[in-house]
A and B are shown apart, each in its own frame.
Chain A
Amino acid sequence: MNPLMKFAIVMVIALELTFIKSVTINLIIIGVSAFLYLFLKLSWKQWLWLFILPLLPGFGSWFSLMYFGTGDHVHMAWVMLTRVFAYLWLGGLFTLKLTEERDVFLATLEQKAKLSATFVYALVGVLNFMPAVNQQIKTIRVASQMRGQTLHIWQAQLYFKAILSAIRWSQNLAEGMVSHGFTEGAPRTHLQVVSIAKRDWLILIIILIAFQLLLIPNWY
């Protein structure tokens, strides 16, 4: 399925979840996500993250509502706990596969969602830069050690150098884009034309309708 379509489904459902105070619905979302994860062949590390990440915010809100809340607080405590899990597991359906689908996602944003190419390629540049950041910080530290100066992680000068190199880098990126012919607002051709299959639309509609129907009964 096209990642942008996935993104749309995830966003719509997540938005609705914010207004739904139902433990059952949240559990259904978690259950369906878990079922889908079985087909996505996650690594054990990714599973671990899925369980650990929601723990703190989930139980944090559970405890505060359970013991310090008023009114419908017991119900709401469970809603909040399951909601945090539902958000993360739902979002994971999109994000955990994003590294592999990144190029298609960005191409869809540009070609189908008509997002400005400037924004899309700036994003591409940033994403390509991310892995270099760690190495860059390391190099900056060693480079200043070679000059006799040790920069510790609490020292502002380290970040000053890092920010400076980020600024240099963004300038280089802009120059690189322009020198390779990138023009804001001008039409571009595309080697890979992204098309969204009819099937994707169908799945999107079915899932969203099914989800609305699910909301009709008065769940706990």
Chain B
Amino acid sequence: MSYVVTNLIVEDVHFSYPTGKVLSHVSLKLKPNSFNLLVGPSGSGKSTLLKLLSGLYPTFSGGTLDGKLTLDGYDINDIVPFQRVARLGYLFQNPTRQFVMQTPFEELRFSLENLQVTPTDMTDRIEKVLETVGMTDFTHHDLSTLSGGEKQKIALAAALAMDSEYLLLDEPFANVDPVARLQLIQAIKHYQQQGKTILITDHDWSGYTDMIDDVFVMNHGHLHQADEAERTKILHEVPIQTQIKTALPNEQEHIIELKKVALKNGTRQLLRNTSLAIPKEKRILITGPNGVGKSTLFSTLVKLYPYSGLITYNQQDIAKRKIAQHVRDIALVFQNAEQQFVAMTMAEELIQAQQFSNHPEIWTDETITEILTQLNLVDLRQHVVYQLSGGQQKKLQVLLMLIVGTPTLLFDEPLAGLDNDSQQCLLNIIADFTTRQHQTVLVISHQLQAVTDWFDFHLHFENEQLSYVGGEV
């Protein structure tokens, strides 16, 4: 197979914000037609490196770049976007952030028009990539009605359609269900077989370990390529997929009850005639494929989404409860962390949360400092929350909501995009404080390996039904 190889050179790259250095002495060499994995704890600079390679930084960052970053001898930032994208495709970490148009078809058309693709080829190409990611049925759907995982698939389709030689993927599977994950891995593998070079950042490489050629490790802004021993060690760290062990709930005190509840998203039926009860002061896992309505269910429980049927909280009809009062009893930890913030800096956020805490005796300054240390956030107190990395934002968001100590907490993918250590650490903190504060916890998650023994009960959402699974098999 012969193909033109674009030469990407990264040599002694430094990148810093006025608040501090993010990358130092970073050099990177990717073999043509290879599959590369970039690992490292959250906040170590992985996304920053990818954004620099894609040419979005430093333009969109406010930081300064030093060092050599070239594509075929030209400075990446001097290449105009349509020529750069033709060689170097990039997929954002946050799926809600990358669309311009209203529907998947329009978005892909927009991209291909920018690349000056011949109009007669366009429709074919669009249909093909949407099929590859399994989103054909959503070709003309409104993007704003798609779930996080579905948006991520469309974003990947856009990256694949542009047919660039290098593909940079920033945690492409974070919000994707296990079935779709395998499907997307296949799509990426197929793409690589056409002679492309892939660089992917991820915390969980199960399902594609055998595809990985080189492993790069980022640590506090320093990058090195793993040698054979380290590579083997890292690739063996794959979390083992184990069965979730939970029991079926029996007669207990209930906090939330659903009676004949139905949910719809436009014309799409999400939930049909469902009745069930959520036990008090327990930890409940909710799983299900992308787009099935998990996040919508959470929005419904905090009165942000219309429903039919009856939902009660503490035996009170939630339709009759005032929203301000209701969300003091049951709060949502949003999938998108930024929606949770009310102030500018981390220190301000923490003070605000402490001030409104239901358990101020637990959340002393010492406790908060200790938890921040465990989460590697302690040195970032003066940082603007919007400038934290995706993983750091997630950790801070969870901490803030724990401090507030709402009796029932709904976590929408609290572990997405976190490395293994951070996941474990965060789970321990959640378990510890929610027990002390007598909270009921509902969690939507695809990161099942981290949570085998963590939950009391398990709800599965599929085919318009929500039901308990587990118990004696």
A-to-B contact residues, CB < 8 Å: 121, 124-125, 128, 131-132, 138-140, 142-150, 157, 161, 164-165, 168, 171-183, 186-191, 193
Task: Give bound CA distance, A174 to B57, whole Å.
Answer: 12
> Are A146 and B406 neighbours in the complex by a CB distance under 8 Å?
yes
In the complex, per-residue mask of B83-96: 1 if CB is within 8 Å of any chain A CB, else 0:
11110001010001
| Chain B residues within 8 Å of A146, by CB | 302, 327-328, 331-332, 340, 401, 404, 406
> Are A183 and B404 neighbours in the complex by a CB distance under 8 Å?
no
Q: Does B353 contact A (CB under 8 A)?
A: yes
Known: A179-B85, A189-B118, A193-B119. A148 touches B100 (CB 8 A): no
Cβ contact of A179, chosen from B83, B92, B340, B342, cutoff 8 A: B92
Q: Count contacts on B: residues with CB < 8 A to the other chain.
A: 61
Please name 19 pairs of A and B residues whose Cβ atoms are closer than 8 Å in the assembled complex, sorted by A: A128-B101, A142-B327, A146-B328, A146-B340, A146-B406, A147-B404, A172-B97, A174-B60, A175-B92, A179-B56, A179-B90, A180-B111, A180-B162, A181-B85, A181-B114, A183-B114, A186-B114, A191-B109, A191-B123
Write the nearest CB–CB distance from A173 to chain B, whole angstroms: 6
| Chain B residues within 8 Å of A125, by CB | 100
Residue in A closest to B353 when the chains form the complex, CB atoms: A147
In the complex, per-residue mask of B330-342: 1 if CB is within 8 Å of any chain A CB, else 0:
0110100011101
Cβ contact of A186, chosen from B60, B82, B90, cutoff 8 A: B82
Known: A146-B331, A149-B352, A191-B123. A176 touches B100 (CB 8 A): yes
Max chain A C-beta neighbours (<10 A), residue from B83, B98, B158, B338:
B98
Q: Does B99 contact A (CB under 8 A)?
A: yes
In the complex, per-residue mask of B130-153: 1 if CB is within 8 Å of any chain A CB, else 0:
000000000000001000000000
Given contacts A189-B117, A189-B118, 13 further A-B contacts (CB under 8 A): A142-B327, A143-B342, A146-B327, A147-B340, A148-B404, A161-B342, A164-B386, A175-B97, A178-B59, A180-B114, A186-B82, A189-B119, A191-B119
Known: A144-B342, A161-B342, A168-B338. A176 touches B99 (CB 8 A): yes
Task: Give bound CA distance, A33 to B81, whole Å.
Answer: 46
> Are A191 and B113 neighbours in the complex by a CB distance under 8 Å?
yes
Task: Give bound CA distance, A175 to B404, whole Å.
Answer: 34
Known: A171-B60, A176-B97. A147 touches B339 (CB 8 A): no
| Chain A residues within 8 Å of B96, by CB | 172
In the complex, per-residue mask of B411-454: 1 if CB is within 8 Å of any chain A CB, else 0:
00000000000000000000000000000000000000000000
> Are B100 and A183 neighbours in the complex by a CB distance under 8 Å?
no
> Are A188 and B123 neighbours in the complex by a CB distance under 8 Å?
no
> Are A121 and B110 neighbours in the complex by a CB distance under 8 Å?
yes
Write the nearest CB–CB distance from A190 to chain B, whole angstroms: 6
> Are A121 and B100 neighbours in the complex by a CB distance under 8 Å?
yes
Q: Does B179 contact A (CB under 8 A)?
A: no
Q: Does B54 contact A (CB under 8 A)?
A: yes
Task: Give bound CA distance, A178 to B55, whole Å.
Answer: 9
Max chain B C-beta neighbours (<10 A), residue from A157, A171, A178, A179:
A179
| Chain B residues within 8 Å of A174, by CB | 60
> Are A145 and B324 neighbours in the complex by a CB distance under 8 Å?
yes
In the complex, per-residue mask of B298-342: 1 if CB is within 8 Å of any chain A CB, else 0:
000011100000000000000000011001100110100011101
Write the nearest CB–CB distance from B23 to chain A, whole angstroms: 19
| Chain A residues within 8 Å of B90, by CB | 179
| Chain A residues within 8 Å of B257, by CB | none
> Are A189 and B92 neighbours in the complex by a CB distance under 8 Å?
no
Residue in B closest to A140 when the chains form the complex, CB atoms: B339
Max chain A C-beta neighbours (<10 A), residue from B100, B158, B328:
B100
| Chain A residues within 8 Å of B338, by CB | 165, 168
> Are B386 and A179 neighbours in the complex by a CB distance under 8 Å?
no
| Chain B residues within 8 Å of A132, by CB | 144
Residue in A closest to B386 when the chains form the complex, CB atoms: A168
Known: A139-B304, A147-B342, A150-B324. A175 touches B60 (CB 8 A): yes
> Are A139 and B339 neighbours in the complex by a CB distance under 8 Å?
yes
Q: Does B80 contact A (CB under 8 A)?
A: yes
Known: A146-B331, A168-B338. A175 touches B56 (CB 8 A): yes
Cβ contact of B352, chosen from A147, A161, A179, A183, cutoff 8 A: A147
Write the nearest CB–CB distance from B383 to chain A, whole angstroms: 16
Known: A175-B98, A176-B100. A145 touches B122 (CB 8 A): no
Residue in A closest to B405 when the chains form the complex, CB atoms: A148
Task: Give bound CA distance, A188 to B115, whole Å.
Answer: 7
Task: Give bound CA distance, A45 to B96, whole Å.
Answer: 34
Known: A179-B54, A180-B158, A189-B113. A147 touches B356 (CB 8 A): yes
> Are B400 and A147 neighbours in the complex by a CB distance under 8 Å?
yes
| Chain B residues within 8 Å of A128, by CB | 100-102, 144
| Chain B residues within 8 Å of A181, by CB | 81-82, 84-86, 111, 114-115, 162
Task: Give bound CA distance, A177 to B59, whole Å.
Answer: 13
| Chain B residues within 8 Å of A180, by CB | 85, 98, 100, 107, 110-111, 114, 158, 162
Cβ contact of B340, chosen from A131, A143, A149, A187, cutoff 8 A: A143
